[in-house]
Amino acid sequence: MANKREATSESERVCVGAIAGAFGVRGEARIKPFTSDPEAIGDYGPLETEDGARTFEIRVTRMVKGGLAARLSGVETREQVEALRGVRLYVPRERLPDLEEDEFYHADLIGMVVVDLADNELGVVRSVQNYGAGDFLEVHSAALKHPALLPFTRDAVPHIDLGARRVVSDPPEGVFPDPQDSLDPKDPKDPAADADAGKA
């Protein structure tokens, strides 16, 4: 159930990567690809910035840690690359292969509400991460001390409702804290506190 690409909120364009900074001192850029095949980012034709003000032809030169190194047309120096750090690169959606049934664009998932099988709200998807062991939905909530990483697998995410923008999850144990763990023994709303208060 892997995500293949990250999309913009605009249905006609898809974000296929981002410029992470310079690689070396000879004008190469470090690119963080959002494609299932990282080197395929150079196969989609000219890539454009989010505002459409600039376009780049990309020539991938090598794979590097955290992404790939590439040459961008019209960018010759390290300083020019660094000025583009953080810029996202887009292509028209029609240039990309059709998605399979269980594939989703990252941005179609970001902002979705995550619920459990009992329809209890667990948080909101903030990003999609991959640390080498598959995709994870990074879920944020005011009730969480730290973001939760929900495995993006069929078992952990049995259903996604794109129309309602809801992710139905069956999270493995430990991904989200047990609500009982957050109860304060001194909190008057905690049943255990009430029981202790009745002891003399």
* 89-113 pLDDT, tens digit each: 999 878 877 777 777 777 678 789 9
Contact 24, 82 (CB under 8 A): no
Contact 169, 122 (CB under 8 A): yes
Of the pLDDT bands very low, low, confident and very high (cuts 50, 70, 90), residue 11 is low
**Coil, strand or helix: which one is 93?**
helix
Contact 84, 22 (CB under 8 A): no
Of the pLDDT bands very low, low, confident and very high (cuts 50, 70, 90), residue 137 is very high
- Within a domain: 52: yes
Percentage with pLDDT > 90 across the chain: 52
Which residues constitute the domain of residue 16?
A: 6-95
Instruction: Name residue, tokens 């004008």.
Output: 27
Contact 17, 88 (CB under 8 A): yes
On the 0-12 / 13-18 / 19+ scale of CB atoms within 10 A, 72 is buried
Whether the full predicted model's pTM is greater than 0.85, yes or no, is no
- Within a domain: 192: no
Q: How far apart are CA 42 and CA 191, in angstroms?
A: 60
Tally of CB atoms within 10 A around 150: 24
| Count of structural domains, the chain | 2
Instruction: Name residue, tokens 């095949």.
Output: 37
Q: Which of 95, 121, 156 is the last residue of a domain?
A: 95
- Within a domain: 196: no
**Model confidence over 13-71: pLDDT tens digits?**
888 889 999 999 999 999 988 776 788 898 888 999 989 999 999 999 999 987 899 99
**Nearest CA-CA partner of 29 in 59, 89, 71, 88:** 71
Cα angle value 105/109/114 (rounded, 5°):
155
β-pair partners for 92: 13
- Within a domain: 162: yes
